[in-house]
Amino acid sequence: MKRIPEPEELMDEADQALAYAEADFSASNEFFIQLFEQLHPAEFTGQALDLGCGPADIPIRFARRYPRAKVDALDGAQAMLDLAEKAIEADGLAQRICLHCQYLPATRLDKTYDAVLSNSLLHHLNDPQDLWSTILDNAGPGATVLVMDLLRPESPGQVDALVAQYASDAPEVLRRDFEASLYAAYTLEEVQAQLAAASLDGLTVSQVSDRHLAVQGRLG
């Protein structure tokens, strides 16, 4: 099935951002944390960078799981970051999670990072190298990298089945966006080609669920 890119717009409408913040993504977000635990079995005590943090559920989960970690969380949508700030303050994590409104590629940030994280951002990008170049520019030597994203189904029928299974009770805006995201997602082969083009030889890509792929590894 051919990829259909999403419109070039950020989720910066307050109502749309609120719908995402109120949606229950706990299963997939907790799965993301479990993948990181498998990739980095030791206690993480360094500085992490989260790209495309949205309302900050993953940075919050990461900071809870690793109480000595600090996280810089980036998103291009201020409406998302406004909700993220409230959630972070409510959890008492404002001293450990720092929010940044910034577009990708984000080059030469103030520090290098011991881990770079990204969940459900790649399929939004018409130029995936914006993500991979940002990782290369900001990850320190030996940094742990975990990027999880949707995996494009093989047919429209599979798209319909996944929407019915995972978004049948969701608000219309979320059902519509989930469908568009599945069409805009990349295949394993496409992501493998992206990594080769970026010379990210230390990272591997694999299917990790019925609708997700994960890029993971450590940089040399």
Q: Is 194 a member of any domain?
A: yes
**Phi, psi at residue 107, to the nearest 5°?**
-110, 150
Could you tell me which of 146, 17, 132 has the C-alpha nearest to residue 76?
Answer: 17
In a domain, 54, yes or no: yes
Residue at 164 is within a domain: no
Task: Quickly state the pLDDT bin for 21 (edges 50, 70, 90).
Answer: low
How far is the CA of 179 from the CAs of 5, 60, 71, 165, in angstroms?
12, 27, 30, 12
Structural domain includes residue 157: no
Question: Average of pLDDT values for 154-160?
Answer: 97
Cα separation, 72 vs 99, whole angstroms: 6
Angle at 63 between CA 90 and CA 31, to 5 degrees: 105
- Residue of 56, 99, 40, 37 lying closest to 74 (CA atoms): 99
Q: What is the pLDDT of residues 67-124, one digit of tens each?
A: 999 999 999 999 899 999 999 999 999 999 999 999 999 866 777 999 999 999 999 9
pLDDT at 180 over 90: yes
Number of domains composing the chain: 1
Which pLDDT band holds residue 23 (cuts at 50, 70, 90)?
low
CATH of the domain at 119: 3.40.50.150
* Residue 197 falls inside a structural domain: yes
- Give residue 135's pLDDT: 96
Going through 61-138 in order, the beta strands assigned E by DSSP cover 70-75, 97-101, 113-119
What residue numbers bound the domain in which 124 lies? Answer: 14-152+186-218
Euclidean distance between CA atoms 171 and 194, whole angstroms:
33
In a domain, 127, yes or no: yes
Give the per-residue pLDDT at 191.
98
User: Is residue 140 situated within a structural domain?
Assistant: yes
Residue 177 lies in a domain: no
